[in-house]
Amino acid sequence: MTLPASASSAAQKPHAPQLLALSAPLLASFRPSKSFLHAEPSTPASAFTAASAGSSRARSGSIGQGSASSAPAESSAVAAARLKSVCSIAFDDRGDYVLSAGDDETVQVFSCRAGKKRQAVVSHKYGVHLAKFKQHSHEEVLYASTKVDNVIRHQSIPKNTYITYFRGHQSKVTSLQMSPADETFLSAAIDESVRLWDTRSDQSQALMRIKGHPVVAYDATGSVFAVAINERPAVLLYDVRRFNSPPFLEIALPPGTIPTSLAFSPQGLLLVGTAGSAHHVMCSKTGAHRYRLCGHEGLEGVEVGSPELAGLVPEAGVSGQETAWTPDGRFVVSGTSTGRLLFWPLPDDVATPGPPAAVQDLQPISPVDRHAGPIRALGFNPRYAMLATGNSQLTFWTPPPPSMDDS
């Protein structure tokens, strides 16, 4: 099941899989199909509520589907108290593998097709966060440290060896983004800097000083990047080729907005994620505020140190990894502090800049099933009708397989 928004040439070849268009009813049908403990608990724990487990045990045949845990359901507080949390999720560009980093200081690789864990490596000395696959690879990863130093590490998963150390940041790295166009990547840190790197060199290619704590994102072409600062309700757009030049566009955000994540859609819209009650969608061409995504239940409402976030490593951050676009750019998906998964359908004219207009408030749809605790990390597969979420466990979500009546 591949998605029409993916830039896959296989869709044009004979015998290619039938394209599956994303729709609101399809996304609302997503259910937990398989879950994995990120760290072994003292006693078994369920990844989601009893209702979720019951609805998923009988399903088979879809990507990554398997039997859910049959352990009795327990409260999110009990489960979280005994388990470390997934703090970042990323897919390889083919959608065959998913990568997770956790507060248990491991990086783990899972096969989306087989629904199995492939390999795990540990980094107890330095910690792990913001793990990403290297471009066009499912065997090499990059991730930020959470303790000892602030080095970004490039590691071979099969060999369990470091390839490159990217030194330069003087404090915690808060954002790490791989270029969709070449071997470069961006990093941002609390030391009020943004750096441009090339995976083929351990030297920083460019440095930008920012007054504030930044987060960064590339657009779909890799030629433009955005910088948002927590202390200022604005997003700055830059040309990668003129890294140290002033921004060519400054997008004002609603007063009081504290951006925790940025992401571009294939159509050029900019998603500004927050830990509050709403996300925002801006036009990256005009700077207009297009949509307010209402109904979010942000992680800012969950106190660090509470049972729901027991085991949290504060240095890894709480929010910023739980919001994403679907690959076709027609929906925004977000995890919540209550374990609900939310989808916001965008209007059909989403790619049309048009003249300035009033901001539209959009309401979400949500599957019935939910996690038994806050969703800290989320990613949507770039090629398949599948997403992964993380809290105390990594969970695959897929639509139910077609019934015999549909054939």
Domain ranges of the chain: 27-399
DSSP assignment letter at 365: B
How many C-alpha atoms does 330 have within 13 Å on its Cβ side? 13
Average pLDDT estimate for 327-334: 95
Is the distance from CB of 48 to CB of 35 less than 8 angstroms? yes
- Over residues 302-321, the pLDDT tens digits come to 554 454 444 444 443 455 78
pTM: 0.81
Which listed CATH number (2.130.10.10, 3.40.50.2000, 1.10.10.10, 3.30.565.10) goes with 27-399?
Answer: 2.130.10.10
Collapsing DSSP to helix, strand or coil, 39 comes out as coil
Tell me whether residue 159 is exposed, middle or buried, using C-beta atoms within 10 angstroms of its C-beta: 0 to 12, 13 to 18, 19 or more: exposed
- Over residues 198-247, the pLDDT tens digits come to 999 999 999 999 888 899 999 999 999 999 987 788 999 999 999 999 99
Measured CA to CA, the distance from residue 272 to residue 252 in angstroms comes to 11
How many C-alpha atoms does 376 have within 13 Å on its Cβ side? 30
Q: What is the pLDDT of residue 24?
A: 94
Helices (H), 335-396: none
pLDDT band at 42 (very low <50, low <70, confident <90, very high): very low
Q: What is the pLDDT of residue 261?
A: 93
Q: What is the pLDDT of residue 230?
A: 78
